[in-house]
Structure 1
Amino acid sequence: MLSLIEAKFVRALCYHALVQLFAKPYTLDNGASKGIPLRLQAETNQDNNNIPSSTVAEIYTQILADLNDAEQGLVEEQGTNNTIRAHKNTAIALKTRVLLAMGRYEDVITEGNKIVSAAAPFSAPTGVNHALQGNVVNVFRTYNTTESILSFPMAEINPPGTQNQLGFCYNQGSGNMEYTLNAAGAGIFANTTAWPATDARRASLTADQTNGSLKLLTKWAGVSPFIDWVPVIRYSEILLNVAEAEAEAGSLTRATALLQAVRSRSDAGYTFTGLTTSESVVNAILLERRIELLGEGFRVPDLQRRNDPINSVGAGESVPVTDSRYVFPIPTAERSSNNEI
C-alpha cells in the first residue's frame, strides 16, 4: 500500500506523462500554453467535474512541488522493492527528466549531481547505489538491477490490452508484431555508422524476423503471457539527461564523459570523436538517446521538449510545434464530463 508521500511521487509521474501528451511543450513559451485540469483533491461525486485547464507552467510547478516533497519524505532504500517502489533517488531521477523538459539545464545538473558521481565509473554516491550494468541485456531480463531505478512489474493477470502491451507488439513468437524497426531512411536502425554492429544493443537486443524481411526489437522477448517488466526510469537515461544539460551549459568534458560511459557499456571499442562544440555534443547525445532508449517511449517527448517537428512516416510530412496535431486532443469523454476544459 502506497504512503501519502509515495502517492505524491506517482501523481508527479502521471501528470508529467499527461502534460507531455496533451499540451504544448514548456519550452515553447515558458509554460504559458493551456495545459490540463489540475485535480489535487479526491473526487467522491460529480460536484467538481467542471475544472478549467491550468497552464503548462502551473502543471510543472505542481510536479516539481510533489517531487521535492517526495525527495524529502521518501526512504533512502526500499530493500528488495527498490525497483518497484519509490525512494529518494527515484524522485531525484524523475526531477532530472522534468527539468530537462523545461530547459532548466543548470537545475538538471544540480539534481543529477546528487545521484551521479563526478567522474567515471558513474554511480549514485548515496541511497540506492545506481550504476550501469556491465551487460545491457541483463537490464531487460533480470529486472531488479541497480540500473533499473523504476519499473512496472507484470503478472499473468496483466495480459496484452491492459497494462503490458510491449511483448505482444514486438515479439515474433506471438504472431502479432504490431511494431518493427524502421530499417531504412531516417530510422536509427539504418544508421550503421552511429550504431555499428559491434554494439551489443544492436547485436543482442534486435533480431531479424524469420524470413529476414523485418527488423525486431527484442528488449521484451518473453512469450505469452508477456510478463516482461516495463522500464520507466533507467540510470542510463539519467546519465544522458545530465550529459545533455552539461553540454548545453558548456561543460563539454563531463558531457562527453557521460556520453562515452553509456556507449562504452555496449561497445567498448567505440570512441566519440569531433565533439568540439556544444551543438556537436548535444547532437551526439540526442542520437545516443535514440539508440539507448529505443522502444521505451522517449523519441517523441525528446522532439517535443526541443520544439522539433515530429516526422510522420506514414503521411510523409513533418508536424511543426505550432500545428494543432503536435499533441493529442483532449479525449471526448473528458470534454463531455468537464464543461470547462
Structure 2
Amino acid sequence: MIQKKIILLLALSIVIFVSCSEEYLENIPTDSISEEAALSSEESMALVINGLHRMMYAQNVLEGGSSSRSGESHFIPSLDAIGGNIIHSSPGNGWMTADLQWQNHTLASSTTAFNFWFQRYHFISVSNAIINTSAEKEFPETENLNNVLGQAYAYRAWSYWRLVTTFSKGYIIGDPSTDAGVPLILDSGAPYDSAPRGTVEAVYTQIEKDIDIAISYLLKASTHNNKSHISINAAYGIKARVALSKGDWENAAKYAPLARDGYPLLNETDWLSGFNTNELSEVIWGGYVIDTETNYYQSYFYYIAFAFNGSQNRSNPKLISKELYDKIPTTDYRNQAWLPQAPNTNPAASNDQGGSYETDSNYNNENDFWDAWEEIIIKYGATTGHNTHPYMNVKFKQKTPGGIDPDDVIYMRSAEMVLIEAEAKAMMADITGAQDALDVLGSERDSAFDKTVFDTQTKLMDEIKWQRRVELWGEGFSYHDQIRWDEGLNQTNSGASEVLYKNGFIVDKPSVNDEWIFKIPQSEIDANPNITEAHQN
C-alpha cells in the first residue's frame, strides 16, 4: 500500500468490505460511508476487521489490483508451486505454469509479485487506520475493543512478515542488519507518504513488537469461536512462525505449544476427510468461505483439489514428489492421500507417458488401465472429463466433489506447530526434547513410528524436513522452508518434467541465488520516490 493512488482507496476499500446487511449500514448508502464513519466506534472497526478476514481468501476487489490473484487462496498453492512441493503433471490451462518455471516472481512486471505486495500493504494500511484512530480518539477499553486492536496488530505483524520473508533475503542466510527489507509504514491518512526500504532487522523488530502487542490485547479480549478471526492461539502461532524464520529457536519452541493448546491432532478418519473445513480439530486459523462471495475458478480448491470441475484440474492433477512419497511407510496412513498407481490418462501429460496403457509403465492392458481410472473417478467424485496421473493428490477433497462450490481455506494447523517445536528444539541440540515433540505427530500418523531412531541433530532435521513436506503438502510452506533451510531445488527424481519446469527444475540454494527473492513490483518503483531501480532485488 505504498503507492499514493492505492492508499487513497482506503476509505473505499473499507466500504466494500463492510457487509450491507449489518445494522450499522441499514439506513446509510454504502457508497456514502466515509473513512471517518467506518472508524468511528469499536463496532464499526470490528466490521472493518471482518473485511480483512474476507480479503484473506476472496477475489481482490480493490481498484488497481487484479482479481486473478485472490488472497491466500492463490498464494498458498502458488508458493508451493515455486517451492517445488506441488508437482504439476501438465501445463493444464496455464495457471501457475510461470510460477513453477520461475518466470513469474522473478519478473518485476508480474501480476503475482504486484498482487502479493499490493494486498499485504492493504492489510497494513487498514490495520494502521484502526490502530492510530483508536489511539487518537481514546476509546474506552473494552473486551471487544481489545479484540479489534489485537487482531489489527496481528494482521500488521503477519503482513510485514509475509512481505519481508518474500521480498527480502532470508534472515538466517543473509545479513539482516544490512539486507534491504520492505518499506515500514505505520502512519495513516494524509499526506500518504511512501517510504524507503528498511533493513530486514528493522522490519523484524517492528513485526515482533506488533505481535507482542497483539498478544497482550488478545489476552484481555472477548472470546469467540470463529476461526476466521485471529485468536490468541493464532497470534501465538504467528509469533512461533516469525521466531522460526529468524532462527529464534527458544521463542519458536515456547510459542508453538501455546498456539496448539486446545487444538488436538486429527485422527486418521479426519486427516483423510479432505481438509475442506475449519471445523477440523487441528484448525487454529482459517477462512470461512462465504457461498455468495466466493472466487470459484480462482479459489484454493480450484488449484489444489483433484475433483474440482475446472480446466486447471481436469487435465492437470497435482502430484507429490515420487522421492517424497516413496519414503512414506506402509504403516503411515498419510500414504492414502496420494495415488502412486493412478493411470496416466492424459495424452498431454508432460512426462510423455499419458493417454494409454501402452505408454504407462504401471499397466499392460487396456481394460485394467481404464478400470483403474473409472474406480478413481467414482470414488473421489470427479467427472468423466478428469484425467488421472501416478502420484496424484487426493489429500484435498471437496465437500461437493465434481462441482465448483466453495470450501474453507486453512491457514494454520496444530500439526505445523508440533513441527515448529520439534525443529526449534533440534536446532538447539535438545535431542530428547525434539524427539518428544516429533513423537507427538509421528505416533499419530504412523503406528510404527519410533522416535529413538532420530538420535542426532542431523537425523532429526532430516526427519522434520520430510515430515513438513508430507504433512503440510499443498498448504503453502515449501517456498519459505527451502529458504530457511538454505536448500535448492532438484526435481530430477520427483516425477516433474524438465520440459515443463524449465528454470524451476534445478535451482541453486537461496544463499547463493537471489532469484529466491521476489522482485519489487515495477509499479511500486515507478510510484515511490524512495525506491529506484538501484533498490530492486
TM-score category by the smaller chain? 0.7 to 0.9
> Does residue 180 of structure 2 align to residue 180 of structure 1?
no
Contact 2:254 2:421 in 1 (8 A): no
Residue aligning to 1:119: none
Equivalent positions of 1:289-300 (< 5 A) are: 289-300=468-479
Q: Distance in 1 between matches of 2:458 and 2:274?
A: 31
> Does residue 504 of structure 2 align to residue 334 of structure 1?
no
SS state at 1:233 partner: strand
Unaligned stretches of 5+ in structure 2? 1-45, 50-147, 344-372, 374-386, 492-497, 532-537
Query: Residue type of the partner of 1:143?
Result: N
> Does residue 291 of structure 2 align to residue 102 of structure 1?
no
Residue aligning to 2:180: 34
Contact 1:300 1:310 in 2 (8 A): no
SS state at 1:24 partner: coil
Cα deviation for residue 253 of structure 1 reads: 1.6
The alpha-carbon distance between structure 1 residues 201 and 42, as it changes in their structure 2 partners (threshold 3 A), is farther
Residue aligning to 2:357: none
The alpha-carbon distance between structure 1 residues 229 and 219, as it changes in their structure 2 partners (threshold 3 A), is farther
Query: Residue type of the partner of 1:260?
Result: D
Query: Residue type of the partner of 1:328?
Result: F
Contact 2:488 2:506 in 1 (8 A): no
> Does residue 395 of structure 2 align to residue 219 of structure 1?
yes
Cα deviation for residue 256 of structure 1 reads: 1.3
> Does residue 288 of structure 2 align to residue 153 of structure 1?
yes
Q: Distance in 1 between matches of 2:216 and 2:395?
A: 34
Task: Pick the aligned partner of 1:73 from 217, 238, 247.
Answer: 217
C-alpha distance after superposition, 1:64-97 (max 9, x if no partner) = 111101111114774321x211222211111111
Cα deviation for residue 233 of structure 1 reads: 1.2
Q: Distance in 2 between matches of 1:183 and 1:9?
A: 34
Q: Distance in 2 between matches of 1:165 and 1:144?
A: 17
Contact 2:278 2:287 in 1 (8 A): no
Cα deviation for residue 15 of structure 1 reads: 1.5
> Does residue 170 of structure 2 align to residue 25 of structure 1?
yes
Q: Distance in 2 between matches of 1:78 and 1:220?
A: 30
The alpha-carbon distance between structure 1 residues 183 and 253, as it changes in their structure 2 partners (threshold 3 A), is same
Cα deviation for residue 22 of structure 1 reads: 0.9
Q: More helix by proportion, 1 or 2?
A: 2
**Which structure has the larger Rg over C-alpha atoms?**
2
The percentage of aligned residue pairs carrying the same residue is 25
Equivalent positions of 1:106-185 (< 5 A) are: 106-115=250-259, 124=261, 129-135=262-268, 136-138=271-273, 140-156=275-291, 157-160=293-296, 162=298, 164-174=299-309, 175-177=311-313, 178=316, 180-184=318-322
CA RMSD of aligned residues (A): 2.4
Looking at both structures, which has the greater relative contact order when contacts are Cα pairs under 8 Å and sequence separation is at least 6?
2
The alpha-carbon distance between structure 1 residues 88 and 309, as it changes in their structure 2 partners (threshold 3 A), is same
Contact 1:180 1:214 in 2 (8 A): no
Contact 1:139 1:145 in 2 (8 A): no
Residue aligning to 1:5: 150
C-alpha distance after superposition, 1:220-274 (max 9, x if no partner) = 3224434222211111111110111111112212211221221222222333453
Residue aligning to 2:506: 317
Cα deviation for residue 166 of structure 1 reads: 3.2
Task: Pick the aligned partner of 2:430 from 251, 263, 281.
Answer: 251
Task: Pick the aligned partner of 2:332 from 199, 204, 227.
Answer: 199
Cα deviation for residue 301 of structure 1 reads: 0.5
Q: Which runs of 4+ in 1 moved over 6 A?
A: none
Q: Distance in 1 between matches of 2:455 and 2:474?
A: 30
The alpha-carbon distance between structure 1 residues 275 and 168, as it changes in their structure 2 partners (threshold 3 A), is closer
Query: Residue type of the partner of 2:295?
Result: P
Return the TM-score normalized by structure 2.
0.55
Q: Distance in 2 between matches of 1:273 and 1:249?
A: 18
Cα deviation for residue 21 of structure 1 reads: 1.5
Query: Residue type of the partner of 2:205?
Result: T
> Does residue 456 of structure 2 align to residue 277 of structure 1?
yes
Return the TM-score normalized by structure 1.
0.85
Query: Residue type of the partner of 1:274?
Result: V
Query: Residue type of the partner of 1:42?
Result: S
Unaligned stretches of 5+ in structure 1? 116-122
Contact 2:304 2:396 in 1 (8 A): no
Query: Residue type of the partner of 2:301?
Result: L
